[in-house]
């Protein structure tokens, strides 16, 4: 009996001693970035990659299809700006340039449905792909998007409690946009250090059960982001605005710290509803604002 216990103890000791190297070599273990990630290890603050995501695809009424793309900056603290080029590109080349170049950290490091790519009906063959590739911290990740996986099919239809994406425009009577494709403004100009006023109109169009009070007072909210541009700060004041009514105007300012070509993005959502959230792939509308920022007149003092 004593010999058997000693033999069992020896086997367990060998198993424990060999567990770590076996884990490190096994291809099925959680491994990415600058080495192996142990299951319960802290997420690194920097040095990790940015993963592109294909969130799903929509079937459009005209026979075309729309892919929804997002990203996950795997760094908890490192903010990355990756220009469109060899480290941040989409194939086929005709779709290149739509993607973000700014990848924040913190609460916004996982962002869903930040842009879309609409492809012809011929993509239903399931063979043609749209691939987004990002290289960050010397690590390259690609995501191929194609039609065919029914589990990834998204819908523009109202969710269980009636939520749909808000309508968005850049003027009170201007053209409206909706969903991930959203709307794009005419180009604006700004100077470094001078706040640029940004006006946006949002309208909640969800049809809800009037007897269900949980979602009775859900109004749109607007959050602003730097989407493309130089590796420089853009300060929004305020960054997020919640409307007091179902529709109305919001105003914020953007202050730039360096000149260059920028694109700002506003996400207009109704995520206070219990059937609307990023994880549900619903319900928000993107609004894009291209801005040319100049250095302004020289300081004469």
The pLDDT score that the predictor gives to residue 219 is 93
Residue in 262, 208, 204, 255 with CA at minimum distance from that of residue 231: 262
8 Å CB contact between 165 and 137: no
Buried b (16+ CB within 10 A) or exposed e, 96-114: eebbbbbbbbeeebebbbb
Q: Decide if pLDDT at 70 tops 70.
A: yes
Instruction: Give the per-residue pLDDT at 275.
Output: 86
Number of continuous H segments (helices) and E segments (strands) in the chain? 1, 18
What is the model's pTM?
0.86
What pLDDT does residue 106 have?
A: 94
Rounded mean pLDDT of the chain? 88
Average confidence (pLDDT) over 142-156: 94
Question: pLDDT, tens digit, for every residue of 175-215?
Answer: 999 999 999 999 999 999 999 999 999 999 998 888 888 88
Across the chain, where does the E strand assignment appear?
A: 50-59, 65-73, 80-81, 88-91, 102-103, 110-119, 130-136, 139-145, 167-169, 183-184, 188-191, 196-203, 221-228, 234-237, 240-242, 247-256, 260-269, 284-294
Would you state the pLDDT for residue 29? Answer: 35
Whole-number pLDDT of residue 8: 35
Name the pLDDT band for 33 (thresholds 50, 70, 90): low
Asked: is 167-294 a CATH 2.60.40.10 domain? The reply is yes
The pLDDT of 15-41, averaged and rounded, is 44
Which residues touch 135 (CB under 8 Å, ≥6 apart)? 49, 82, 86, 87, 88, 141
Indicate if the pLDDT at residue 160 is higher than 80.
Answer: yes
Q: Where are the domains of the chain?
A: 50-152, 167-294
Q: Report helix, strand or coil for 18.
A: helix
């Amino acid at each position: 009996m004593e010999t058997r216990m000693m033999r069992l103890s020896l086997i367990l000791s060998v198993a424990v001693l060999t567990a770590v190297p076996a884990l490190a070599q096994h291809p099925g273990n959680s491994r990415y970035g600058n080495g192996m990630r142990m299951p319960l290890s802290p997420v690194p603050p920097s040095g990790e990659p940015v993963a592109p995501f294909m969130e799903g695809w929509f079937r459009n009424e005209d026979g075309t299809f729309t892919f929804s793309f997002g990203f996950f900056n795997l760094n908890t603290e490192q903010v990355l700006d990756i220009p469109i080029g060899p480290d941040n590109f989409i194939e086929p080349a005709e779709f290149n340039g739509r993607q973000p170049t700014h990848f924040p950290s913190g609460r916004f490091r996982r962002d869903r449905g930040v842009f879309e790519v609409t492809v012809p009906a011929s993509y239903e063959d399931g063979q043609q792909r749209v691939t987004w590739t990002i290289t960050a911290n010397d690590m390259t990740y690609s995501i191929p998007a194609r039609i065919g996986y029914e589990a990834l099919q998204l819908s523009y239809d109202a969710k269980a409690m009636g939520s749909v994406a808000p309508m968005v425009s850049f003027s009170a009577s201007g053209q409206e946009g909706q969903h991930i494709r959203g709307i794009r403004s005419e180009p604006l100009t700004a100077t470094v250090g001078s706040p640029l006023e940004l006006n946006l109109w949002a309208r909640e169009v969800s049809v809800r059960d009037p007897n269900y009070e949980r979602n009775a007072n859900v109004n749109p909210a607007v959050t602003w982001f730097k989407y493309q541009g130089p590796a420089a700060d853009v300060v929004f004041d305020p960054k997020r605005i919640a409307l007091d009514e179902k529709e109305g105007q919001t105003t914020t300012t953007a202050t730039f710290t360096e000149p260059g070509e920028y694109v700002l993005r506003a996400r207009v959502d109704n995520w206070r509803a219990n059937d609307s959230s990023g994880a549900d792939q619903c319900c928000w509308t993107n609004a894009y604002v291209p801005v040319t920022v100049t250095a302004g007149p020289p300081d004469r003092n």
